[in-house]
RNA sequence: GGGGGGUUAGCUCAGCGGUAGAGCGCCUGCUUUACACGCAGGUGGUCGCAGGUUCGAUCCCUGCACCCCCCACCA
């Protein structure tokens, strides 16, 4: 019997000494959750873990029991979020799943912290995007929407919308999103449409909405105007064409440069800079428009023309260029529309009428080249494309509605400046300010069929009325009937109202009064301008309050470093991932991938890793429940004696709980996930469960000690389940049910904050040393080529660097001996025959029966050279007087101690080599 | 043209003034009575390059290289 003789006695004394210092039920569980009399069968978990077997069941339990609805008195602390409403264009991809997972983690966490949580679901009609989906469907059947007519077309979109909404809803439920479905909204619901109309009318009356003919971004494929934000600029290789115009009295004429020669048909002037000597001879003259033969004036304009750039002469096409349009206004020039809304040349284009704009370009280039008027050179410039269909955008003069944005932007800037709204990560603040500073008026009318009709009505006499209710007759002249504007509003016009329109605003509904403003908005940074900025402007302008206090802008999901796209074929369907790995694993993966950066990298390998973690938890639960074996666990755990491992694991548990809370508060979902992962896997499972097996099996310890272990185990299990619930709601609820017999209640169980248990640094110190010793013993075997089961003798010198620890370590001698397979453990100086080392401040000696293989020599040499290198570095530091002088004393002290440790190790290892 | 971000282990990413971490991968063992979706041990990094500040820099500053993103009426 080689066991250290007094080990047990010391262990017991240590246990008594290890009583909790705060005996008054410091646990977060209000009552003992491990129900005594619950049936045995309910306490057992199936051997195999199948996520599919319980996920949907728990979701419906939560939903039917109203867990997703805010509970508690109005006015009590609440936490409110609105979902960024997904477009009803199809199904959600993994990027949506990421954002929703983050939101659900917040929602579940806050709910468990006792707040009244409301998370509002809904969808967005997504005007142009959804219309395109249906147009494509029709095109497959060879139908053009115009054949169908507006009414029939819109009906079809509604039918599609219902389907898409169901798909999206199912996806979010599978993911586990704790959304309050009783409050689900759609941007074209009657009450939300009323809010849109109300806002339009108010802005109109305030002079912040106006109508006019301007050059706007026009998509010839969608045949609608789009806003500046909906134009995607891309560097494109093209040509810069130089065209010579004849000028009466000026030999050589005037040469202009353009990237779009077809627009010359719409030129109504040439422009020069008034102070440019190169072109002064052209001043006041008249040029002849080639091909057309029309005379156009040469005007002087210092704003449009850059003296330093190009030929100094600019062609002016007021109908097809925003700058030229402004210039035309200044000089009272006519505007000739030569490219029509469908991208084909108009009647004003003369012989080119009816041609596609690019075909016309080709022909004009050929003709002018033949005439000797045109030269071309390669040119790379930025060309605008339609965000939705990638068609080249055409600047186009048309009648549109606009929001005058500057007066709305000012308060929105202030709200962020004064901290009413904060961005997380904070770095987005600057981007937001930059954009707000240069913001332009917003073109809100769209020549589409799917969306909110603009509430403007024109009477037979041409009077325009804007009103919330459809007017029966003209308020000005009483004429009838009135025609409503056929345009619809930009989708984002309704989205900007989402945080309050979902609550029934402008009515002062109970929900609006209770839940507005919301707390946190979570969304991708890609819609900061489209949506977030506009919500802030609208919220402040219409409700007088910022619509949320925190904006968490997250990165965009990338798969294996690449942007997700259908053409790359790397799109991950959340439902497929859920089917393969389970919703909990998918969620955990997404949470772990979260980072402050602009991209969120998701890989299959990580999904498998999370699934493995889920299985790990499952098996740890099985182990724990079998250890409890239906037994009552003492409620008054606090008053019981705890062993050092128990103290250690509870201390670590409290640390994990604090970390999880801290990281969630900072929106660091990756760090939060990693904290609980590391605790459950590497501390609870790898260490604690292994440490207590001998006690649980009855091979060691008293019944009292077994009870203590059971108490610690159940505390660890239940707290881990609670800490993990926001990340892995299904699995944790399933285990919780089996453990407590209270189905479906984890979702509202108190969230561990770590405050109930204290950090036990003494226990941590001792147990960390034990773990280090065990590791050292194991790799010592490896070095010696001994099998893992080969017994190792261990000496711990009483005069170790850490003397206190050296004597304290015997409190856990049986533990060390069992886990390290150490038959001999002696508190005495190691003999010369032993291999010596210093581990965790303990001078130790190790001895194992020599084995044939001696693979450890190289390792030992490496260890020694590592030590030597570090020692050299540190000691040269210590020799440096300015380090000792200027570095903080704590750092110097730490360095000194490390140096001593290295000396010890070096001495020990050098001896061991002999 | 303006602005922002990145460059850390084979891969994907954390860290950020006191000489480096995770997951996956890789190598070696292992029917240790919760788990092979496992256990134990291990391999692997002049922290993009060059200067500077500092007692000390992967971390702060400057410059450079390469990559990515956003904004902009670059005829």
Please report which confidence band the pLDDT of residue A850 belongs to, taking 50, 70 and 90 as the band edges.
Answer: low
Is the CB of A245 less than 7 A from some atom of nucleic acid strand B?
no
**Which pLDDT score is estimated for A47?**
67
**Which pLDDT score is estimated for A32?**
43
Is the CB of A698 less than 7 A from some atom of nucleic acid strand B?
no
* Percent of chain A whose pLDDT exceeds 90: 61
Is the CB of A228 less than 7 A from some atom of nucleic acid strand B?
yes
Q: Which nucleotide is nearest to A884 (CA to C1')?
A: B55
Q: DSSP code of A25?
A: -
Q: Which protein residue has its CA closest to C1' of B36?
A: A612
What would the two tokens of residue A751 be?
A: 């969230």
Is the CB of A598 less than 7 A from some atom of nucleic acid strand B?
yes
Residues in chain A: 914
First-to-last alpha carbon distance for chain A, in angstroms, is 30
* Percent of chain A whose pLDDT exceeds 70: 91
Burial degree of A154 (CB within 10 A; 0-12, 13-18, 19+): middle
- In angstroms, rounded to a whole number, what is the distance separating the alpha carbons of residues A188 and A851? 79
**Which pLDDT score is estimated for A21?**
30
What is the β-pairing status of strands A835-839 and A842-848? antiparallel
Which among A522, A513, A454 is positioned nearest to A489, based on CA atoms?
A454
Is the CB of A865 less than 7 A from some atom of nucleic acid strand B?
no
**Which pLDDT score is estimated for A12?**
30
In the predicted model, is pLDDT for residue A913 greater than 60? no
**Which pLDDT score is estimated for A407?**
93
Is the CB of A558 less than 7 A from some atom of nucleic acid strand B?
yes
Please report which confidence band the pLDDT of residue A307 belongs to, taking 50, 70 and 90 as the band edges.
Answer: confident
Is the CB of A782 less than 7 A from some atom of nucleic acid strand B?
yes
pLDDT, tens digit, for every residue of A553-565? 999 888 766 666 6
Is the CB of A853 less than 7 A from some atom of nucleic acid strand B?
no
**Which pLDDT score is estimated for A89?**
92
Kindly provide the residue ranges of all beta strands, DSSP E only, lying in A266-372, ordered along the sequence. 269-272, 286-288, 295-300, 313-316
- As ranges, strand B nucleotides with an atom below 7 A of a protein CB are 3-6, 11-15, 18-19, 22-25, 29-30, 32-35, 37-43, 54-56, 68-75
Is the CB of A663 less than 7 A from some atom of nucleic acid strand B?
no
Is the CB of A430 less than 7 A from some atom of nucleic acid strand B?
yes
Mean predicted lDDT score pLDDT of chain A: 87
What would the two tokens of residue A348 be?
A: 């004003």
* Distance of C1' in B65 from CA in A17, Å: 62
* Distance of C1' in B61 from CA in A670, Å: 30
In the predicted model, is pLDDT for residue A177 greater than 90? yes
Q: Which nucleotide is nearest to A602 (CA to C1')?
A: B12
pLDDT, tens digit, for every residue of A282-292? 888 999 999 98
Is the CB of A565 less than 7 A from some atom of nucleic acid strand B?
no
* Distance of C1' in B11 from CA in A765, Å: 36
Higher-pLDDT residue of A237, A657: A657
In the predicted model, is pLDDT for residue A633 greater than 90? no
* Distance of C1' in B1 from CA in A728, Å: 48
Q: Which protein residue has its CA closest to C1' of B30?
A: A788
**Which pLDDT score is estimated for A701?**
84
Is the CB of A599 less than 7 A from some atom of nucleic acid strand B?
yes
Higher-pLDDT residue of A332, A15: A332
In the predicted model, is pLDDT for residue A637 greater than 90? no
Over residues A69-84, the mean pLDDT reads 92
* Distance of C1' in B71 from CA in A748, Å: 45
Is the CB of A784 less than 7 A from some atom of nucleic acid strand B?
no
pLDDT, tens digit, for every residue of A191-239? 999 999 999 999 999 999 999 999 999 999 999 999 999 999 988 888 8
* Distance of C1' in B55 from CA in A876, Å: 11
- In angstroms, rounded to a whole number, what is the distance separating the alpha carbons of residues A824 and A820? 11
Is the CB of A323 less than 7 A from some atom of nucleic acid strand B?
yes
Q: Which nucleotide is nearest to A276 (CA to C1')?
A: B75
In the predicted model, is pLDDT for residue A426 greater than 80? yes
Please report which confidence band the pLDDT of residue A388 belongs to, taking 50, 70 and 90 as the band edges.
Answer: confident
* Distance of C1' in B31 from CA in A608, Å: 25
* Distance of C1' in B52 from CA in A666, Å: 34
Handedness of CA A145, A462, A214, A256 (dihedral sign): positive
Instruction: Name residues 32-51 of chain A with a Cβ under 7 Å from nucleic strand B.
Output: 48-49
Please report which confidence band the pLDDT of residue A48 belongs to, taking 50, 70 and 90 as the band edges.
Answer: low
Q: Which nucleotide is nearest to A871 (CA to C1')?
A: B19
In the predicted model, is pLDDT for residue A373 greater than 60? yes
3-class SS of residue A403: strand
Is the CB of A382 less than 7 A from some atom of nucleic acid strand B?
yes
Is the CB of A221 less than 7 A from some atom of nucleic acid strand B?
no
If you compute the radius of gyration of chain A from its CA atoms, what whole number of angstroms results? 37
Is the CB of A899 less than 7 A from some atom of nucleic acid strand B?
no
Q: Which protein residue has its CA closest to C1' of B33?
A: A697
Q: Which nucleotide is nearest to A582 (CA to C1')?
A: B37
Q: Which protein residue has its CA closest to C1' of B55?
A: A883
In the predicted model, is pLDDT for residue A676 greater than 60? yes
Instruction: Name residues 410-429 of chain A with a Cβ under 7 Å from nucleic strand B.
Output: 427
Q: Which protein residue has its CA closest to C1' of B28?
A: A782
Over residues A518-533, the mean pLDDT reads 94
Is the CB of A674 less than 7 A from some atom of nucleic acid strand B?
yes
Which bin fits A311, alpha (ψ -120 to 50), beta or left (φ > 0)? alpha
Kindly provide the residue ranges of all beta strands, DSSP E only, lying in A248-335, ordered along the sequence. 250-258, 269-272, 286-288, 295-300, 313-316
* Distance of C1' in B6 from CA in A400, Å: 41
Is the CB of A434 less than 7 A from some atom of nucleic acid strand B?
yes
Over residues A99-122, the mean pLDDT reads 97
Is the CB of A312 less than 7 A from some atom of nucleic acid strand B?
yes
Instruction: Tell whether omega for the bond before A299 is within 30 degrees of 0, i.e. cis.
Output: no
What would the two tokens of residue A210 be?
A: 């106006």
* Distance of C1' in B17 from CA in A422, Å: 28
In the predicted model, is pLDDT for residue A67 greater than 90? yes
* Distance of C1' in B23 from CA in A605, Å: 8
Is the CB of A313 less than 7 A from some atom of nucleic acid strand B?
yes
| A406-417 helix and A428-437 helix, angle to the nearest 10 degrees | 160
* Distance of C1' in B67 from CA in A396, Å: 36
* Distance of C1' in B22 from CA in A674, Å: 8
3-class SS of residue A245: strand
Instruction: Name residues 86-115 of chain A with a Cβ under 7 Å from nucleic strand B.
Output: none
In the predicted model, is pLDDT for residue A9 greater than 80? no
Read off φ and ψ for residue A866, nearest 5 degrees: -60, -45
Q: Which nucleotide is nearest to A595 (CA to C1')?
A: B14
In the predicted model, is pLDDT for residue A797 greater than 60? yes
**Which pLDDT score is estimated for A457?**
95
Over residues A419-443, the mean pLDDT reads 91
* Cα distances (angstroms) measured from residue A705 to each of A21, A58, A507, A697, A738: 19, 36, 63, 12, 24
* Distance of C1' in B42 from CA in A781, Å: 12
Instruction: Name residues 384-413 of chain A with a Cβ under 7 Å from nucleic strand B.
Output: none
b/e per residue A586-596 (b: at least 16 CB within 10 A): bbbbbbbbbbe
Is the CB of A750 less than 7 A from some atom of nucleic acid strand B?
no
What would the two tokens of residue A405 be?
A: 């944005």
Q: In this structure, are residues A382 and A232 in contact, taking their beta carbons and an 8 Å threshold?
A: no
* Distance of C1' in B66 from CA in A359, Å: 40
């Amino acid at each position: 019997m080689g066991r250290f003789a007094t080990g047990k006695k010391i262990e017991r004394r240590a246990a008594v000494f290890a009583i909790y210092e705060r005996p008054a039920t410091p646990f977060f569980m209000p009552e003992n959750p491990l129900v005594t009399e619950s049936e045995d069968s309910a306490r057992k978990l199936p051997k195999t873990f199948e996520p599919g077997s319980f996920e949907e069941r728990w979701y419906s339990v939560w939903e039917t029991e109203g867990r997703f609805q805010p509970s508690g008195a109005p006015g009590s602390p609440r936490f409110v979020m609105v979902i960024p409403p997904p477009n009803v264009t199809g199904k959600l991809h993994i990027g949506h799943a990421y954002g929703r997972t983050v939101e659900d983690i917040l929602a579940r966490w806050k709910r468990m912290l006792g707040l009244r949580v409301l998370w509002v679901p809904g969808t967005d009609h997504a005007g142009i995007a959804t219309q395109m989906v249906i147009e494509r469907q029709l095109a497959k059947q060879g139908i053009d929407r115009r054949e169908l007519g507006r009414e029939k077309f819109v009906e079809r979109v509604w039918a599609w919308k219902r389907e898409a909404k169901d798909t999206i809803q199912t996806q979010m439920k599978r993911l586990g999103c704790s959304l309050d479905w009783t409050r689900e909204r759609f941007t074209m619901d009657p009450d939300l449409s009323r809010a849109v109309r109300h806002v339009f009318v108010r802005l109109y009356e305030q002079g912040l909405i106006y109508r006019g003919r301007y050059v706007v971004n026009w998509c010839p494929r969608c045949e609608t105007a789009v806003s500046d934000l909906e134009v995607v600029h891309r560097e494109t290789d093209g040509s810069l064409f130089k065209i010579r115009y004849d000028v009466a009295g000026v030999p050589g004429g005037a040469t202009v440069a353009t990237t779009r020669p077809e627009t010359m048909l719409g030129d109504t002037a040439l422009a020069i800079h008034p102070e440019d000597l190169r072109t002064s001879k052209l001043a006041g003259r008249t040029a002849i428009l080639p091909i057309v033969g029309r005379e156009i004036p040469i005007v002087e304009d210092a704003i449009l023309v850059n003296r330093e750039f190009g030929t100094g002469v600019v062609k002016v096409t007021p109908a097809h260029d925003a700058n030229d349009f402004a210039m035309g206004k200044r000089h009272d020039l006519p505007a000739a529309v030569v490219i029509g809304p469908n991208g084909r040349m108009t009647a004003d284009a003369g012989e080119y009428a009816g041609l596609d704009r690019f075909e016309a370009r080709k022909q004009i280039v050929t003709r002018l080249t033949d005439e000797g008027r045109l030269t071309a050179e390669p040119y790379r410039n930025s060309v605008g494309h339609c965000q939705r269909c990638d068609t080249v955008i055409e600047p186009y003069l048309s009648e549109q509605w606009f929001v005058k944005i500057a007066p709305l932007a000012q308060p929105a800037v202030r709200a962020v400046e004064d901290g009413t709204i904060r961005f997380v990560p904070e770095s987005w603040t600057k981007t937001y300010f930059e954009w707000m500073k240069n913001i332009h008026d917003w073109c809100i009318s769209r020549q589409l069929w799917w969306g909110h009709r603009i509430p403007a009505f024109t009477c037979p006499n041409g009077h325009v009325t804007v009103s919330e209710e459809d007017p029966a007759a003209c308020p000005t002249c009483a004429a009838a009937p009135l025609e409503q504007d056929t345009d619809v509003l930009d989708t984002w016009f309704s989205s900007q109202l989402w945080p309050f329109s979902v609550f029934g605003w402008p009515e002062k509904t109970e929900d609006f009064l209770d839940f507005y403003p919301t707390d946190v908005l979570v969304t991708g940074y890609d819609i900061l301008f489209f949506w977030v900025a506009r919500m802030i402007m609208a919220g402040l302008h219409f409700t007088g309050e910022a619509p949320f206090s925190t904006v968490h802008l997250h990165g965009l999901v990338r798969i294996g470093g690449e942007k997700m796209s259908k053409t790359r074929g790397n799109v991950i369907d959340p439902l497929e991932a859920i089917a393969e790995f389970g919703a909990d694993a998918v969620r955990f993966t997404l949470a772990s991938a979260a980072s402050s950066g602009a991209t969120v990298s998701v890989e299959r390998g990580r999904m498998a890793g999370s699934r493995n973690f889920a299985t790990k938890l499952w098996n740890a639960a099985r182990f724990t429940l079998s250890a409890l074996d239906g037994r009552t666990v003492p409620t008054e755990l606090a008053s019981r004696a705890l062993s050092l491992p128990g103290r250690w694991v509870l201390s670590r548990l409290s640390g994990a709980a604090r970390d999880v809370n801290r990281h969630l508060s900072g929106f660091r979902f990756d760090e939060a996930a990693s904290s609980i992962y590391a605790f459950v896997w590497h501390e609870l499972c790898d260490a604690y469960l292994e440490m207590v097996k001998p006690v649980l099996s009855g091979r060691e310890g008293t019944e009292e000690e077994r009870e203590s272990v059971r108490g610690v185990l159940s505390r660890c299990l239940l707290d881990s389940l609670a800490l993990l619930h926001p990340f892995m709601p299904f699995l944790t609820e399933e285990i919780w049910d089996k453990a407590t017999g209270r189905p479906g209640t984890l979702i509202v169980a108190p969230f561990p904050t770590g405050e109930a248990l204290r950090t036990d640094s003494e226990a941590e110190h001792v147990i960390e040393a034990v773990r280090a010793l065990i590791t050292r013993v194991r790799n010592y075997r490896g070095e010696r080529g001994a099998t893992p089961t080969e017994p190792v003798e261990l000496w711990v010198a009483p005069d170790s660097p850490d003397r206190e620890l050296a004597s304290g370590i015997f409190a856990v001698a049986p533990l060390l001996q069992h886990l390290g397979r150490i038959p001999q453990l002696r508190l005495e100086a190691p003999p010369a025959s032993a291999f010596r080392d210093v581990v965790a401040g303990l001078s130790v000696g190790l001895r194992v029966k020599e084995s044939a293989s001696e693979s450890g020599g190289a390792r030992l040499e490496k260890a020694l050279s590592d030590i030597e290198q570090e020692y050299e570095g540190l000691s040269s530091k210590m020799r440096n007087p300015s380090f000792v002088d200027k570095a903080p004393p704590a750092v110097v002290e730490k360095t000194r101690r490390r140096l001593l440790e290295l000396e010890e190790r070096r001495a020990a290892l050098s001896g061991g080599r002999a």
